Amino acid sequence: MQRLEQRDEVEMLALMLLIRRFEERASQQYQAQKIGGFCHLYIGQEAVVTGAVAAVREDDYIITAYRDHAHALARGTSANACMAELFGKATGCSRGLGGSMHFFDRQNHMYGGHAIVGAHVPLAAGMAFASRYRGEDRVTLCFFGDGAINQGSFHEALNLIALYNLPVVLICENNLFAMGTSVKRSTSLKQIVDRAEGYDIPGEIVDGMNFREVRDKLTEIVGSIRKDPHPAFVEIRTYRYRGHSMSDPASYRTKEELEKYRLDDPITRLRAQLTREGKLTNEQFDQRDKKAKETVIASVKFAESSPELPVEKVYDYVYFNGAVEAGVSPAKRQESAAAAAAATE
């Protein structure tokens, strides 16, 4: 299986552009009330997920929290399926049932999209346990925010991950804030990476505004896990340009702080690196950007013209095989679950 890392850096820059343009368009569509519920944008953090997926194989597992649009796009979910999910349409990557916070794409091994802070870290432990149990050499990438590191579920999961020596890369996307609370006000540690030390998990700090640094560090870590399964922790320092969600004016930080990070923009940085090295012309950059914008505009058209989910489908997929209508006995449920499992084997 091809490692995404082997793909051209220009292609990875194009992916960052797609993510950026997708998010900008989502913001606009949210303001036009085409998108309901919550919507958390990833703008500014693109180099984190792009660099991370560039370091793994396509069959490795990815799991993240609710700021998840970029993770699905980076994994290969189409912009159409992502936009349709935001619109709550039946053609969305979670069939329109999940919305912004619950993107899911089993085919591309992207296992959500989870809204409860820290609650998916134990799921990552389970995924990594499963791959080891099955004798596979897959690595799990578990992304979470700085807000997750003080949750009980995070600590319980880290303990088991370390105890069982599971092949997980714990990726803290430290964007300095959990909603409006800065890390300095919520966390006793000077640096988040030190959380890993308490569990004997090796940890590193990575510059999340630099695609190459993220990719190279993660490639090294994933390579070492593949040879000899073990957990690892990376604190990736990044910044989100927008508020926590669409309804947050982000008045808890200064314009100067935001400007400082914007000057270090991950897309501008990779573009400059490639241009300096003679690997990218301005025309080539503009072409990629134009293509990203066109893809995203087409995804809005696709979402708009997609069918609504029929009301009677709303409770589908809540329980396995839908065999849980009132009155169905547990024995009957087990029977139909076994039948469904046999049918999919």
Ligand X SMILES: Cc1ncc(C[n+]2csc(CCOP(=O)(O)OP(=O)(O)O)c2C)c(N)n1
Positions that interact with ligand X (CB under 6 A): 65, 67, 115-117, 145-148, 175, 177-179, 244
Closest to ligand X by CB, 14 or 117 = 117
Nearest-approach distance from CB 149 to ligand X, in angstroms: 8
CA 170 from centre of chain: 12
Nearest-approach distance from CB 38 to ligand X, in angstroms: 9
> Is there a contact between 69 and 81 (Cβ–Cβ < 8 Å)?
no
Rounded to whole angstroms, the Cα distance separating 190 from 183 reads 9
Nearest-approach distance from CB 229 to ligand X, in angstroms: 27
Closest to ligand X by CB, 176 or 324 = 176
Nearest-approach distance from CB 244 to ligand X, in angstroms: 5
Nearest-approach distance from CB 146 to ligand X, in angstroms: 4
CB neighbourhood size of 190 (10 A): 9
For residue 307, the 8-state DSSP code is P
Rounded to whole angstroms, the Cα distance separating 233 from 45 reads 18
Rounded to whole angstroms, the Cα distance separating 64 from 142 reads 6
Buried/exposed code over 235-247 (b: 16+ C-beta within 10 A; e: otherwise): bbbbbbbbbbbbe
Closest CA to 127 of 180, 168, 187: 168
Closest to ligand X by CB, 44 or 92 = 44
Closest CA to 4 of 51, 49, 56: 56
Closest to ligand X by CB, 92 or 147 = 147
Strand-pairing partners, residue 248, are none
Closest to ligand X by CB, 143 or 302 = 143
Nearest-approach distance from CB 85 to ligand X, in angstroms: 18
Nearest-approach distance from CB 178 to ligand X, in angstroms: 3
Measure the CA angle with vertex 236, ends 229 and 44; round to 5°.
Answer: 135
Using CB positions, name the residue nearest to ligand X. Answer: 145
Both tokens of residue 299? 């995804």
Closest CA to 19 of 336, 295, 322, 344: 295
> Is there a contact between 47 and 29 (Cβ–Cβ < 8 Å)?
no
Closest to ligand X by CB, 257 or 335 = 257
Nearest-approach distance from CB 185 to ligand X, in angstroms: 12
Q: What is the CA radius of gyration of the chain?
A: 20
Rounded to whole angstroms, the Cα distance separating 64 from 207 reads 19
CA 218 from centre of chain: 15
Closest to ligand X by CB, 179 or 246 = 179
Task: Report CA-CA distances (Å) from 307 to 35, 37, 85, 88, 314.
Answer: 15, 19, 12, 9, 14
Closest to ligand X by CB, 169 or 192 = 192
Nearest-approach distance from CB 214 to ligand X, in angstroms: 16
Closest to ligand X by CB, 247 or 282 = 247
